[in-house]
Amino acid sequence: MTPYRDSGGSEPAKRGKATRSRTSAPAAASAETSAAASAETSARAAAQTPAPPVDASSAGSRTHTNPSAPATTPVSDKEPAPAKAPAPANGSVKTPKRAAGNGSVPGPAPEPAMGNGSASGPEPAVGNGSASGRARKPGRTTKRAKAPAPAEEPGAADGTTLAPEPAKAGADVWDQRVAGLLSAVRQRLTGDYEVDEFGFDRQLTESVFLPLLRPLYRRWFRVETIGAQHLPTHGPALVVANHSGTVGLDALMLSVAVHDEHLSHRHLRLLGADFVFRMPGLSELARKYGSTLACNPDAERLLRGGELIGVFPEGFKGIGKAFAERYKLQRFGRGGFVSAALRTGTPIIPVSIVGAEEIYPLIGNIRPVARLLGLPYFPVTPTFPWLGPLGLIPLPSKWLIEFGEPIPTADLMDSADDPMVVFNLADQVRETIQQTLYRLLERRPDAFS
Amino acid sequence: MSFPKVVLVTGVARHLGAQVAARLAADPRIGRVVGIDAATPAGEAARLLADVEVRRVDLSSPEIAWLLADTGAEAVAHMAIVTAVDHQSGGRGAMKDLNIIGTMQLLAACQQAPALRKIVVRSSTAAYGASFSDPAVFTEDTEPREVPRGGYARDVLDIEGYVRSFRRRRPDVVATVLRFAPFIGPRADTRLTRYFALPVVPTVLGRDPRLQFLHVEDAFEVLCRSIVERHPGTYNVAGPGVLTLNQAIRRAGRIAVPVVEPGLSAVAAYARRSGLVDFSLDQLDLFVHGRVVDISRLVAEYGFEPRPTAVAFDEFVRGKGRGPLSPDRIRGAERRVLQAIRKARS
């Protein structure tokens, strides 16, 4: 209940501000924003709540964007890698946590045979003794090796755990990498890997899917996350987010955020529409990535198994809405996600994603083609289908993902079948997400900054 | 707990029925085992049934009622359920006769048998169907979204319906329905095992269904426990864990050949005509969407957990021999590539 009251107090004023700043104020230069953000971070860390009113009255829209820059990511938009190294000095909350995660998590290490003492799970083949490996041949880092690089920086800095690594790995890093890669390939070819009952292939996800998505997440959309500490380190939680962007890229980015930005590197199990599981190819990939059908039996089963699940109650109404309606939350389905949470007593974490609306601005829908292909809609964007395959490239908007405070449901477990309680809770979640969206939009005056 | 003195086992001319009858006959807690079938057991079934009293009874004739009264059977294990169309003997019509009419006759006779205390019916997880709109894991309470396409799956649903109404009419009889996952084992010979033994294994492009198998030995174990012990209700019986189809094919050392979905029925029809493998429609659906069941009710009630799907499959592979891509060869290739790279770099 607290998060709702929190935001409720200051929201109406902010909403007005949000619309005004988006229309009237021209784009605040990104460099300026980030510089100001990092300068203010220390002040913000000390006094969090009293800040906004002061700023709002004293300065224009640009300064107003800064205070809501919380103490988590004072990272510059342009180059995440170098910015993360100085971050600890800034007194940021997030970076030390990442460092701890890197140094101490002894490996989500799903690859028993090839995890050669590496602390970074995702890249089994290349991740051995990465600190030394990169130091030696910075020019030769492959695409796969690049992804973990920024995350490794703080780990190496504080790394007591990584210290013995370089000496051992120093012998022949590349030989070990090649051997690790080959043994991984052998495991795949002989079927020597594990898949859970939903079809989730942890090895494939951590060594192929996530490394492929990471450049998109870090470089293309420059995703910033806020409040990732609200995710539980273990045990179930229901992550509820807004859905947008014509194709469901926001779901993928959210799962990368959950995995990478939280110290326990958990996998977000996404719940998808039955359309996803009807399509050949897509259904196979979705299952291997850990998704399953959005239905109550599956949701409750995952939650009882202590998993973190991600739902998008807007469904196709959300991702298929026109660009003109961006950041207006659609109806929240039938509230099935709330009853799943209530039945299992799982906390609900509202998540607001800003940025996905602009990647494929939907300006039209060719219904006959959609019906012919069996799609929910056939999108027309400024680039698609006019530019052919080029139109499939998402526009590089700037993304912000804010994890809200968990809403506990354990005390409401008895009212899972009470429609009034379910509707109210769904409404509360929806309101929280909508208000946070407005607040985040203020922080990001320009969609492509 | 009182153990049944006389047990009737149907379908003993087939491997499953013969095995169950033989095991029950070997159990000292069981007094007498009577095996019935319309056909005379031959080959291995006959060898297994050496200690079993076998009667030739056609289930679709009223003779069965007389036999039940005559033997005073206290328990019936209904195994006479045909899973696949046999084109040599009557095709789908004969299969339906045996499955549906046979079960109806048997249950009608059971209703009249005052001594009867227990009935165990073989069913299948095919009853759940397979489609994209189903939950990932079926529990015993999951209702199928739509009637499955295959003949066998439809038969199984009908049979379970008859058992339900039998339960209402004879609440004093313990009725156990066992939904088995596809059987597999080192010596099992089913359509599925023949499929995995094909030179190249056809799969569906863009699909990697989740499959579960049950080791036949575990199936016998669960069936015998159901007769000896008391477990009313419906149970899923499958090996815990999951193998995807491609994973299974790789573990068998075989080569998968993806076929596009629209042409699937045509390929299946060709395979049937050429006598390679016979696929029913529900198996096609299984190879597109997969099927996984929850066995926690079985484990809690029986205190028995079948061996994992992966273990059962590996035993099957060891029994049948691996295909061309055996792990040893792949390991050898890996070593050669690694050495080549080392040589090139030094």
Cβ within 8 Å of residue B74, ≥6 positions away: B4, B5, B6, B7, B115, B116, B117, B118
Chain A interface, mutation test: which of B132, B329, B331, B336, most A Cβ atoms within 10 Å? B132
Specify the pLDDT at position B136: 93
Specify the pLDDT at position A171: 59
- Whether residues A182 and B292 touch (CB distance < 8 A) is answered with no
Q: What is the CA radius of gyration of chain B?
A: 22
Q: Which residues of B touch A284 (CB under 8 A)?
A: 206-208
ipTM: 0.89
The C-alpha atoms of residue A289 and residue A276 are separated, in whole angstroms, by 12
Residue A40 in this model has a pLDDT that exceeds 80: no
- Summarize pLDDT for A178-201 with one digit per residue, the tens: 888 888 888 898 889 999 999 999
Query: Does residue A189 sit at the B interface (CB-CB below 8 Å)?
Result: yes
Q: What are the phi and psi torsion angles at A272 (to 5°)?
A: -115, 160
- Whether residues B338 and A278 touch (CB distance < 8 A) is answered with no
Query: Does residue A195 sit at the B interface (CB-CB below 8 Å)?
Result: yes
- Summarize pLDDT for B208-227 with one digit per residue, the tens: 999 999 999 999 999 999 99
Q: Which residues of B touch A190 (CB under 8 A)?
A: 250-251, 253, 325, 327, 330
Closest alpha carbon within chain B to A192: B251
Specify the pLDDT at position B169: 94
Residue A50 in this model has a pLDDT that exceeds 60: no
- Whether residues A283 and B142 touch (CB distance < 8 A) is answered with no
Specify the pLDDT at position B12: 92
Which of A178, A189, A197 is nearest residue B242 as measured by Cβ atoms?
A: A197
Specify the pLDDT at position A91: 38
Which of these, B81, B95, B88, B189, lies nearest to B151 by C-alpha position? B95
| Fold for the domain defined by A222-359+394-443 | Glycerol-3-phosphate (1)-acyltransferase (3.40.1130)
- Whether residues A183 and B249 touch (CB distance < 8 A) is answered with no
Chain A interface, mutation test: which of B210, B254, B311, most A Cβ atoms within 10 Å? B210
Chain B interface, mutation test: which of A172, A181, A189, most B Cβ atoms within 10 Å? A189
Q: Which residues of A touch B144 (CB under 8 A)?
A: none
Which of A178, A197, A201 is nearest residue B292 as measured by Cβ atoms?
A: A197
Domain layout of chain A by residue ranges? 81-157+173-189, 222-359+394-443
Specify the pLDDT at position B194: 85
The C-alpha atoms of residue B186 and residue B196 are separated, in whole angstroms, by 12
Three-state DSSP state, A170: coil
Closest alpha carbon within chain A to B291: A197
Closest alpha carbon within chain B to A185: B334
More confident: B111 or A130: B111
Residue B82 in this model has a pLDDT that exceeds 90: no
More confident: B139 or B149: B139
Which of these, A366, A395, A371, A372, lies nearest to A382 by C-alpha position? A395
- Summarize pLDDT for A143-163 with one digit per residue, the tens: 333 333 333 333 333 333 334
Specify the pLDDT at position A170: 54
Mean pLDDT of A392-414: 93
Extract the tokens encoding B161.
């319906």
Specify the pLDDT at position A27: 39
Q: How confident is the model at residue A345 (pLDDT cuts 50, 70, 90)?
A: very high
CB contact at 8 A, B7 and B32: yes
Specify the pLDDT at position A26: 40
- Summarize pLDDT for B250-267 with one digit per residue, the tens: 999 999 989 887 777 777
Q: Which of A210-219, A330-339, A412-421 is modeled with the greatest confidence?
A: A210-219
Residue B288 in this model has a pLDDT that exceeds 80: yes
Query: Does residue A328 sit at the B interface (CB-CB below 8 Å)?
Result: no
The C-alpha atoms of residue B21 and residue B27 are separated, in whole angstroms, by 10
Mean pLDDT of B101-119: 93
Share the mean pLDDT of chain A.
72
Chain A interface, mutation test: which of B143, B337, B343, B346, most A Cβ atoms within 10 Å? B337
Mean pLDDT of A308-323: 91
Q: How confident is the model at residue B3 (pLDDT cuts 50, 70, 90)?
A: confident
CB contact at 8 A, A102 and A119: yes
Mean pLDDT of B301-316: 95
